[in-house]
Amino acid sequence: MRIIRNRPEWSDGAYVPGRTAVAIGNFDGVHLGHQALIARCRELAGAGEDTAVVTFEPLPLAYFRPELAPPRLTTVYRKLELLQALEVDHTWLMRFDTALAALEPQAFVERILVERMRAWHVVIGSDFRFGKDRTGSIELLAYLGEELDFSVNVVPSVMLDGERISSSGIRKMLAAGDFDGAARWLGRPFRMEGRVLRGAGLGRKLGYPTANLAVRAEPSPVTGVLAAWARIGDGPWLPSVTNLGRRPVVDGKETLLEVHFFDFDEDLYGQRLDVQFVAKLRDELDFEGLEALVDQMKQDEAAARDCLAAADVPE
């Protein structure tokens, strides 16, 4: 997959070699609804055209009102990995900024879809809006398509158990610890990943060494103490108990994902970890001291072991 990033002042000319079937959206989570858009792109493109995605970073709400921005389901890197796995040919990762927010709907279509992405087919969801102040409607897009020679294809919402699949719905499931429900809507288990940081070594001193990952997209959609499978690189999935939060008992300032592997103690600094959550055991708590924390950690490990003993190991 070819990744296109904003160029200085959006350099003139096409960013793709030929006509495309292009989907537009935030694609946070790349859930089943997003996958339906991309599947429609592939159908329309056939053998003679490329598929493309236009997506935005940061997400518009995070730009306008960062204090109201919802938790991200995927980092930008994970989003790109998932789009590549869906065999998208080109992804334009557009920087959402003042200039883009001020672009009138017709200019958005002409400059982005027609001139840069050479759109032959445009694929959107049923709630799509675009341009300055979200004033661009599907009806306007269809009118411009007739004028500028591209088709507009509206993909209906994907429904599951009578509910519309959405990123916001998945966030609610994750916050509630419903990882099975989130996996059904995502079309895959929810995972977090990253490289192991050098920690302060407190967990090791307490008898619970941890591999620590920075949470790159805050706030996190998952918090608390959880039973989880974790994988080092391409190795096997190993059982663990994890803490995702700010560690109030040690006055932590940043959100960390701390993974304690059972019966395993190696230096994992710099290695990639993938973490797949199975069950939320409890919320993150503050304790009066380290002794109380260690007592609770023993209980958490026992609960996580019982939970994972009854769970399937990821493939």
Architecture of domain 191-309: Beta Barrel (2.40)
Take residue 34 and report the two structure tokens written for it: 């997003």
Q: What is the mean predicted confidence (pLDDT) over 31-49?
A: 95
Between residues 16 and 185, which one has the greater pLDDT? 185
Q: Which fold has domain 16-160?
A: Rossmann fold (3.40.50)
What pLDDT, in 10s, does the model give residues 192-228?
Answer: 998 988 766 666 666 677 888 887 777 889 999 999 9
Mean local confidence (pLDDT), 247-260:
71
CB atoms within 10 A of CB 163: 12
| DSSP string computed for the chain | -EEEEPPTT--SS-SSSS-EEEEES--SS--HHHHHHHHHHHHHHTTTSEEEEEEEES-HHHHH-GGGPPPPSS-HHHHHHHHHHTT-SEEEEEEP-HHHHT--HHHHIIIIIIIIT-EEEEEEETT--BSGGG-B-HHHHHHHHHHHT-EEEEEPPPEETTEE--HHHHHHHHHTT-HHHHHHHHTS--EEEEEEEP--SHHHHTT---EEEE-SSSS-S--EEEEEEEEETTS-EEEEEEEEE--GGGT--S-EEEEEETT-----TT-EEEEEEEEEEE-----SSHHHHHHHHHHHHHHHHHHHHTSPPP-
What pTM was estimated for this model as a whole? 0.90
For the stretch 266-298, pLDDT in tens is 778 888 999 999 999 999 877 676 777 788 889
Are the CB atoms for 239 and 299 separated by under 8 Å?
Answer: no
Please tell me the distance from the alpha carbon of residue 175 to that of residue 190, in angstroms, as a whole number.
Answer: 12
**pLDDT value at residue 247:** 60
Please compute Rg for the chain using Cα positions: 22
User: So where are the chain's domains?
Assistant: 16-160, 191-309
- What angle do the packed helices 179-186 and 167-175 form, to 10 degrees? 160
pLDDT band at 8 (very low <50, low <70, confident <90, very high): very low
What integer pLDDT is reported at residue 92 of this predicted model? Answer: 94
Q: What is the pLDDT of residue 251?
A: 52
Over 70: is that where the pLDDT of 248 sits? no
Q: Is 276 exposed, middle or buried (0-12, 13-18, 19+ CB in 10 A)?
A: buried
Tell me the mean pLDDT in the region 159-185: 96
